[in-house]
């Protein structure tokens, strides 16, 4: 009996004991790690269900599923890393808003998880891609939106890793990049959705309102977590965890039924028609029927002399000399 009790005691979350936050004053605890495991499970469960549903669809109807499965899988890996207390570095806090009794310096060392930003770099473009799909935004404009979204994540990461007040310079660049993406979607993509019809424009307004609302909260979270050192690391994980679930899991899931309600063909992506055309182009041409041999030409009849035409003169034979 005692062995069974000891077995269950040894079970549980041992991530903090195995991967210790050595050298940090403000770091993740077991409770924060438990929450991160919860977010990991939600993302993993959503990805598995979506993959199962995707394989039940014909291959031409899986296009929208890719844009939902990818961010869930990327954030699954990111939260597995953070829940295991890996993928972090110690950064000296700029502000002394939060203190602990064990910190050795006036400004303590805060645990900053760069693995979260890696997950954002891979997953955050997909809500932008989904919003661009609704208006069938040209590929070059969609690529521009993706690049600016990646700049947003990179600038936020640099701001989190910088100790001095220059972190707010990177923060400003990140906010500017997000503003550029929002302006692009609210102008170019919006106009395309208006032309596509009232149904698509209504869904566009609903979906874009959701993703932009959650996206605007990310700079606030940065300001009170890595930037301002106001919240402890466990509270930071709860804040970002809820935000990531809403923006990178819930919003892509909402997009799937909304887009299917309108229909991918009405949006402008008719994969069935394109496949039929490409199959017709690849199919060999039907062999031509052999030509029947030509019948021999009948011989031409001799021409009759025209009436009134002078008859040919006969040459007079020379008189023989007597």
Does a structural domain hold residue 301?
no
Residue 151: strand, helix, or coil: helix
State residue 54's pLDDT score: 93
The arithmetic mean of pLDDT across residues 154-174, rounded, is 95
* pLDDT tens profile 228-269: 888 999 999 999 999 999 999 999 999 999 888 887 777 767
Does a structural domain hold residue 320?
no
- 44-63: b (≥16 Cβ within 10 Å) or e: bebbeebeeebeeeeeeeee
Does a structural domain hold residue 180?
yes
Res 282 pLDDT > 60? no
Q: Measured at the alpha carbon of residue 239, what is the angle toward residues 181 and 29, in degrees to the nearest 5? A: 135
The arithmetic mean of pLDDT across residues 129-152, rounded, is 94
Between residues 74 and 269, which one has the greater pLDDT? Answer: 74
The arithmetic mean of pLDDT across residues 117-130, rounded, is 96
Does a structural domain hold residue 280?
no
Number of domains in the chain: 1
Does a structural domain hold residue 210?
yes
Res 10 pLDDT > 70? no
* Range(s) of the domain holding residue 228: 12-268
Helix (H) or strand (E) segment spanning residue 206? helix 198-215
State residue 308's pLDDT score: 47
122: domain CATH number is: 1.20.1070.10
State residue 218's pLDDT score: 97
State residue 205's pLDDT score: 94
- The Cα 62–Cα 253 span in angstroms is 14
Does a structural domain hold residue 317?
no
Does a structural domain hold residue 307?
no
Instruction: Return the minimum-mean-pLDDT range out of 80-84, 168-172, 307-311.
Output: 307-311
Does a structural domain hold residue 281?
no
Res 62 pLDDT > 80? yes
């Amino acid at each position: 009996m005692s062995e069974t009790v000891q077995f269950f005691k040894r079970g549980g979350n041992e991530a903090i004991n195995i991967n210790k936050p050595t050298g940090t004053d403000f770091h993740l605890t077991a409770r924060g790690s438990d929450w991160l495991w919860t977010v990991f499970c939600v993302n993993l469960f959503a990805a598995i269900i979506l993959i199962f549903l995707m394989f039940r669809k014909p291959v031409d109807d899986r296009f929208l599923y890719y844009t939902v499965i990818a961010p869930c899988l990327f954030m699954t890996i990111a939260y597995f890393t953070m829940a295991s207390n890996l993928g972090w570095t110690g950064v000296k806090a700029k502000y002394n808003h939060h203190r602990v009794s064990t910190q050795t310096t006036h400004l303590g060392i805060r645990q900053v998880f760069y693995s979260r930003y890696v997950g954002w770099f891979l997953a955050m473009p997909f809500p932008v891609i989904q919003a661009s799909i609704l208006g069938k935004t040209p590929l070059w404009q969609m690529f521009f939106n993706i690049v600016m979204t990646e700049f947003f994540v990179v600038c936020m990461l640099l701001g989190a890793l910088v100790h001095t007040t220059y972190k707010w310079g990177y923060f400003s660049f990140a906010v500017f990049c997000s503003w550029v993406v929002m302006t692009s979607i609210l102008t170019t993509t919006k106009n395309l959705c208006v032309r596509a019809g009232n149904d698509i424009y209504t869904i566009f307004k609903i979906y874009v309102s959701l993703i932009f609302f959650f996206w605007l909260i990310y700079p606030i979270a940065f300001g009170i977590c890595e930037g301002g050192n106001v919240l402890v690391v466990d509270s930071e994980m709860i804040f970002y965890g809820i935000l990531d679930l809403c923006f990178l899991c819930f919003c892509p899931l909402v997009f799937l039924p909304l887009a299917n309600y309108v229909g991918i063909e009405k949006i402008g992506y008719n994969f069935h028609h394109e496949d039929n055309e490409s199959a017709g182009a690849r199919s060999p041409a039907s062999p031509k029927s052999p030509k029947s041999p030509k019948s021999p030409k009948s011989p031409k009849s001799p021409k009759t002399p025209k009436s009134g035409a002078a008859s040919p003169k006969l040459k007079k034979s020379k008189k023989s000399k007597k």
